[in-house]
Structure formats: C-alpha cells, structure tokens
Amino acid sequence: MAPLAAACLSVLAAAAQADPAESLDKVVVTGNPLKSQLLAQPSDSLGGDQLVLTRAANLGDTLQGLAGVAATNFGPNASRPSIRGLDGDRVRILSNSGASVDASNLSFDHGVAIDPLVIDKVEVLRGAAALLYGGNAVGGVVNTLDNRIPRTLIDGMSGAAEVRLGGATHDKSGAVVLDGGTGQPHRGFGWHVDLAGRDADDQAAPRFDSDGESRTSVRNSAARSHGGALGGSVFFQGGFAGVSVDDFHTNYGTTAEEGVTIRMQRQRLATAGEWATADGPVHRISWQLSRNRYEHQEVEETGDIGTTFKSTGTDGRLEVEHAAIGPVKGLIGLQTEQLNFSALGEEAFVPSTRTRNTGVFVLEQAKLGGVDWSAGARTERVTVDSDGGDRFGTPDSKRFKPVSLALSGVYPLSEAWSLSANLNHTERAPAYYELFANGLHLASAAYERGDPTLGLERSKGLDVGLKWESAQSHVHLNLYETRFSNYVALQATGEVVDNGGESVPVYDFHAVPARLRGIEFEGRWQLHPALALLSQLDAVRGDNRATGEPLPRLSPLRAMLGLEAKQGDWSGKLEWRGAARQTRVAEFDTPTPGYGTLRLSVARQLRWGQTDALWYLKLDNLANKLAYNATAVPTIRELAPQPGRSASTGLQVRF
C-alpha cells in the first residue's frame, strides 16, 4: 500500500490546479442502446457521491442495499449479486457492457474480478435482459462502467483520488483515477490511468459459535488486492476508437476451510469504438471486443496448490442502428463469446471445457397510441465441449439453440405518473459446470455433481411497474412473476462423502418446474428542503411447482426506513435495515433468524479553489446485532455472519 499511498498524496497535492470533474450522464445505458428516457425494465444506477458512500470491498456487498438485489456473501471477499432470487449463471456481470470473464459464477467462494474502487458508475437491470445479453441474463444484469476506454474527449486532465480506512475488516485501501485529453472534439486523443490497492484483516463480527468455538471474527477472511489499467482513444468526425489493458490480482481466505486461500489474477485487453451520422440508412455503428485471461489457485495451509482454475475468454459485440422508419427506430446486433476453461489438480471438480456462443438480436422501438413500445428477439447457438477424465467420463459435446423474445411498453398516465409492463420468453443453455461437475470442491466444503442430460432452461416472465416522479421525491413499485419449465437448481441431496474423516454434503444440479414471484417498493419523500424520508421493501417467493417445496437460497422479506439530511456542505443519513426470519428453505437447509441493523453516515463537501472533495464517516451495525444471510450457501452461512459494529472513514478528492 505504500506506493499507492504516495501516489494518492502526490495527486492530492497536484489537484488544486485542476478543473472540476464533469457530472455523470443520468441516462441508463445498460440494456438501452437507443438511449430511451423511459425504460419498462426496472433499473438502478449508482454513481458520484452515492457510489462513494455505498461502495464496499466487493460488488455484491456494494449493491445488496438496492431493492430486489441481495448478495451471496461467501465471507467478506467473495460476494456476487443475487437478483430476484436468481444467482450464479442467471445474473450477467459486465464490464463496460462486455463480458467480465472470471470464475465467480462457477462457485460461491470465487470473487468477482472487478474492483469497486475504480468504477465510475454501476447499473443494475432487474429481471430478464436476455434480448441484448443472452439467456444467462434471465435474472438481470450488473454493468460496471469506467472510463478505461475514453468515450468523450476532454481538454486537459481530470480525475479522483480516494483513501479509505476502517470498517469491520480494518480496511486500508486507496485508488487513483486520471483522465486526460488533447485536441479538437472531432480530432483528438484521450487517455486514462487508474491504480488501486487494498489490505484487509479478518472480518469482525458479534460473538457467535463456529464449529463449537466462540468467535468474534470470521476465520480466514483476510484479503489483499491490487490492480491497475491504462487506456486511450482516438477521436474523429462522428466517433472514436480506443483500447485498454487492465491487470487485477487478489489473495484472500476462503473462510470455509481454516487455511485455504485463493490466489487470483485477471488480465483484460479490450477495444471499443463508435461511429455515428445523421444521414443515410445507418445512424450508428458501435463495436467492442475483449480478450480475458483469468487464473486462480486454491492454496492449502501447507502451501500446496490443491486446484488451479484457468479461463481464457473472448467477447465481441457489434450493433448497427438504422435510420428511423416512420415512428420506428431500432438496431440489429451480433454477439460472440468463447470461453476455454480448465481445472488442474487432484481436487478439480469440473473437467476442462470449451464454450462457444453466437447470438443475433434485433430491437425495435416506437411510440404508438401514447405508449412507448419496445420489442425484440434473439437467437443463439451454444456449444459446450468437455474433455472428460477419470471422474468425468468420456469426452462429451452438447449443442443448444436458445431463442428469447421480449415485448414491453411504458404508458405515461400524467407528467408524474407512468405505468409499465414487460413480457418475456427466455431460454438459457446450461453452463459447463451445471452439466459436467463431479467432485469435491474444497474451498466451499461441498461435493458438487452436474447433470449432462440437462436441456434448455425455459422461462416466461411478466413484470408490471408503477412510477411517480417529482422534482425531489419518487415512488417506484414493481410486481413480477417468472415461470420456469425446467429450472436448474443446486440443492443438497442429503448424502455425504468422506473427506479425510470429515463428512462433506453432496449438492446436485437438477431441473425442476419452478415459479418465482415478488414485489419491490422504493420511495423517497422530501419532507423539508433539508430532510427526506427514505423507504424500501422487497420480497421474493420461489417454489418447485411439482412439489411445492421452496427453491434454495431465497432472500426473506426485507425492509428499510431512513432519514437523509442535507444542510450546506454537510449531509447525513440514518437508516434501519431489517430482514424477516426465513423459514421457507429447501430440504436439508436450515431457517435463518431475522434481524435489524442501524447505520449512520456523515459527509462533508470540501473545496479548495477549483478542487472539490468529499470526506465521510460511516458507522455500521450500531447495535452490534448478530445476523446471517439467507442467500448464502449453508456450508458457509454459520461460519460467516454479517459484519459487526464498525466505523470507517475516507476522503475522495475530485479535480
């Protein structure tokens, strides 16, 4: 951390002569290539000061305060977003709208290879988004946005530097982000540099019992990470073309095993560009292509490497927007993905595989009869090949042809009120691990078995929303239901296998008819120019339609009440967040107690000449309540409760 701290201090010292940073575009770009102001699909975005105050050590914990979004919480280091009761391969994690290749969907103990410290904005789509992003976006999309490939030319230099200290993991982290450019808007060059690092200890928790031992910290949950990126773009008449390279490394404890750590790294080379014109049949062409190399090793306490996971992936995307045909505007697109995966070592539980996916899609929009309509279709060709092995049988190859359809509309009832509906049919090809897994997964303390006979996972979904928006207040309400003809579930079988004298539970992937339905409510009321009331509620219910049994790892009823105050340069927020007891659990799982926690944050805007800064203090879990996450897998839940009482502070300088 010492070099990073020095870099932060040098940037802070130089910031006084810089220009203030520009504000972020408020239009949601994820799932919205035509830049519509009204979206039928429920969405959230975090950016600016809101992201700074919400940002956590991982992506799942950063987003789990949003309506309908939970986290898988495999300890403090590996936490992936779960949206509307769906996780794993049903939630698409993107980096600048392109695939973020890692192994986080393979297992709950695998972290997402994205550092929240260096992202400018994160957008979340709740509900099926398969039309633009493929069948494995049936649960939703999380898109992290940064400026590693500059898309807008700035003259001069801007950026930010941030230092954070404290929290339940005694976090020491920092980041520097710099952007610059020179030339004219239609003939110039832009560049980007970022650097980030983090050191964290074992997570503090209220006193709890773990394997017969009383503890006040989560065992083997310390972490260390560092990363950086460099990018640049050339700007020309009507567009830009750019390239970036980034490198991310982390080393963290898995929590499930006392001495097992994961040593992970990812390198990503990306290029993107766009060309637009107001004339002719084609209005815009955009493209992006990335090449990712990912590796992580599960290292035992002795220093021996139990398993090495490697992935190399390529993701390409091309969109062509056509000129309007009467009231209709739209685009056609092509997306291709290739993933080569290998697991090496005696404890590898998945064979080496190759996945190829090519998709073609069309999206059209029009305003007819006072309704903003959107319709589209996508067809894919997916191939999953397995090399087989001693535990995995002979080499095998699976072919799938998913087709997805969507129709949505937004009807403005008045200037403030609008009604929306979204109807979709989604087909998802099973992932390589759902098909071919067969072995002990040491880090998650479970024996996992796939099913090579799995077919397409088909679902039909309906989402209805009601919005009220005013200058400083709003209310958002969504009701949804999704029916699966063959939902691929990872569930405990009740069997155990022996692992050196210790019994390990067996988990199977198998298809069941299922239904998920839920409600999401979020509101803000400006009670006074300096005071606002905040509220939120969400609930999801998932059932096996054949047996009536609950689906696994569903979030319970959750609620939030808060007060937000702002006076001059000072602001503060007090909020209570609660979760009901989760008694509707899958077979061989256990109920999770309910809980309520209090949080308080205080922030102050600072200004030095042309430079502005944000200082903040956050106090979490003020009453030090013991809480467990129902969406975590049972093998880790009681080993890793939610963080205890903590205080953290930080300073971000923007210039």
Residue type, 439: G
pLDDT computed for residue 498 by the predictor: 82
CB-based contact 176:132 (threshold 8 Å):
no
Residue showing tokens 């408020």? 26
pLDDT computed for residue 211 by the predictor: 77
Rounded Cα distance between 61 and 236, Å, is 40
Q: Residue 493's pLDDT band (boundaries 50, 70, 90)?
A: confident
Distance of CA 224 to the CA centre of its chain: 20
Mean predicted lDDT score pLDDT of the chain: 91
The pLDDT tens digits of the residues spanning 152-178 come to 999 899 999 999 999 999 999 999 999
Distance of CA 286 to the CA centre of its chain: 24
Residue 449: beta bridge partners? 438, 508
Residue type, 117: L
349: closest CA among 304, 382, 386?
A: 386
By the 10 Å C-beta count (0-12 exposed, 13-18 middle, 19+ buried), 341 is classed as buried
DSSP letter assigned to residue 8: H
Rounded Cα distance between 253 and 90, Å, is 26
CB-based contact 437:162 (threshold 8 Å):
no
Rounded Cα distance between 513 and 168, Å, is 41
Rounded Cα distance between 386 and 354, Å, is 7
Rounded Cα distance between 144 and 100, Å, is 10
Q: Residue 26's pLDDT band (boundaries 50, 70, 90)?
A: low
515: closest CA among 478, 491, 550?
A: 550
Tell the CATH superfamily of the 2-654 domain: TonB-dependent receptor, beta-barrel domain (2.40.170.20)
CB-based contact 405:424 (threshold 8 Å):
yes
Rounded Cα distance between 654 and 275, Å, is 30
pLDDT computed for residue 13 by the predictor: 39
CB-based contact 628:593 (threshold 8 Å):
yes
CA dihedral 147, 148, 151, 156 (to 10 degrees): 80
Cβ atoms within 10 A of the Cβ of 463, count?
24
pLDDT at 130 over 60: yes
Tokens of 173: 């982290």
The residues spanned by each domain of the chain are 2-654
Cβ atoms within 10 A of the Cβ of 224, count?
16
Say which residues have a Cβ less than 8 Å from residue 296's Cβ, sequence separation at least 6.
103, 110, 262, 263, 264, 265, 308, 309
The C-alpha angle 637, 639, 642, rounded to 5 degrees, equals 65
Distance of CA 320 to the CA centre of its chain: 27
Q: Residue 639's pLDDT band (boundaries 50, 70, 90)?
A: very high
pLDDT computed for residue 16 by the predictor: 35
Reduced to 3 states (helix: H, G, I; strand: E, B; else coil), residue 389 is: strand
Segment of 20-34, 76-90, 131-145, 510-524 carrying the highest mean pLDDT: 510-524
CB-based contact 521:538 (threshold 8 Å):
yes
Q: Give the pLDDT mean for 255-280.
A: 92
Q: Give the pLDDT mean for 370-378.
A: 96
pLDDT computed for residue 398 by the predictor: 97
By the 10 Å C-beta count (0-12 exposed, 13-18 middle, 19+ buried), 588 is classed as middle
The pLDDT tens digits of the residues spanning 403-447 come to 999 999 999 999 999 999 999 999 999 999 999 999 887 656 788
Residue type, 645: R
Rounded Cα distance between 321 and 406, Å, is 18
347: closest CA among 638, 109, 76?
A: 109
The pLDDT tens digits of the residues spanning 497-507 come to 887 777 888 98
CB-based contact 614:602 (threshold 8 Å):
no
CB-based contact 271:243 (threshold 8 Å):
yes
By the 10 Å C-beta count (0-12 exposed, 13-18 middle, 19+ buried), 327 is classed as exposed
Rg of the chain taking only CA atoms, in angstroms? 24
CB-based contact 620:56 (threshold 8 Å):
no
The pLDDT tens digits of the residues spanning 506-542 come to 989 999 999 999 999 999 999 999 999 999 999 999 9
pLDDT computed for residue 37 by the predictor: 81
